Structure 1
Amino acid sequence: MTVAVKTPWHLWVVGGVSLLWNAIGAFDYVMTKIENPDYLATFTPEQQAWFASFPVWANVGWALGVWGSVLGSILLLVRSRHAVAALLISLVGLGVSCIYQFGLHYGDLMRIFGTFPMIFTAVIWVILIALFVYARKQSAAGVLR
């Protein structure tokens, strides 16, 4: 026998706000990948070259991070337990991306962009870990099915 669990109000808030937040990352990813000239004009030529130079494995990490988060937010909103897996995949993707950017090319990153990527990536880590923990708790409570 399955007991119906009422959807808590905060699931809609967390899911909605996280989807909006992750849509920003998706927009950045798409505009960068399709090489939108208006979007890329906000970056210096050296910064544009930095993004274009990512090897395939770093691009895969970036894609998993972005799209795993978007999917995780959508799955939260539809109350799917698979939100946990999607957010875990996003964490792995973020980790891969960070290995490339901060582990292998930290000096170049700092020279080209300054400290902003380090600060912004720390914020992304905190938000993504919080979303993952939240999804796990909601799954364990039977809210996500």
Structure 2
Amino acid sequence: MSTTQKPPIWFWIISILALIWNIIGVMAYLGRAFATEEMIATLPEEQQAEFLVEYPAWYTAAFAFAVFGGALGSLFLLFRKKWAIALFVISAIGAIVQHIYLFINVEMLDYVMPIVVIVVCIILVWFSRHCASKNWIN
């Protein structure tokens, strides 16, 4: 059994940034899931149109797995636990499924953010595996 090594300061910086990033994702999910008609009416017209789109249940589930898996993965990374790897993999799969659906079915003007989300998910999977290989997490 290998012993856990003390991680460098940049491990903590990346882990905290990952948590902040994923909390923003959770807030976006909750904002969409619990938006009332009154709240939607206060948004600009183009954003209101986004709330009128009915997504399949599996899309919403993929979105939830992406954001909650990422947030939990970030917490486990901060707790220095290997469960972070599995949670980041779940998050990445959820984000990829969610965004492939959007790429295929929704006319999107801006592809930058969806691509950034997928890239960040993949980087977090790589980072958590790297941390495990360095024995920074166990």
- State the percentage of identical aligned residues: 27
Q: Secondary structure at the match of 1:72?
A: helix
Runs of 4+ that moved beyond 6 A: none
- Deviation string 1:23-45 (CA, Å, 9 cap, x unpaired) is 11111110110115446733533
Aligned length, in residue pairs: 135
Q: Distance in 1 between matches of 2:114 and 2:3?
A: 40
Q: Distance in 1 between matches of 2:72 and 2:55?
A: 23
Q: Any gaps of 5 or more consecutive residues in structure 1? A: none
Q: Any gaps of 5 or more consecutive residues in structure 2? A: none
RMSD of aligned C-alpha atoms?
A: 1.7
The answer as to 2:6 corresponding to 1:6 is yes
The one of the two structures with greater contact order (alpha-carbon pairs below 8 A, sep at least 6) is 2
- Deviation string 1:68-113 (CA, Å, 9 cap, x unpaired) is 111111111000101010000001101111232112x1xx432xxx
Structure-1-length-normalised TM-score: 0.85
Q: Distance in 1 between matches of 2:41 and 2:76?
A: 31
Q: Distance in 1 between matches of 2:40 and 2:10?
A: 34
Shift of the alpha carbon at 1:4? 3.9
Mapping 1:30-109, distance limit 5 Å: 30-36=30-36, 37-38=38-39, 41-44=42-45, 45-50=48-53, 53-103=54-104, 105=105, 108-109=106-107
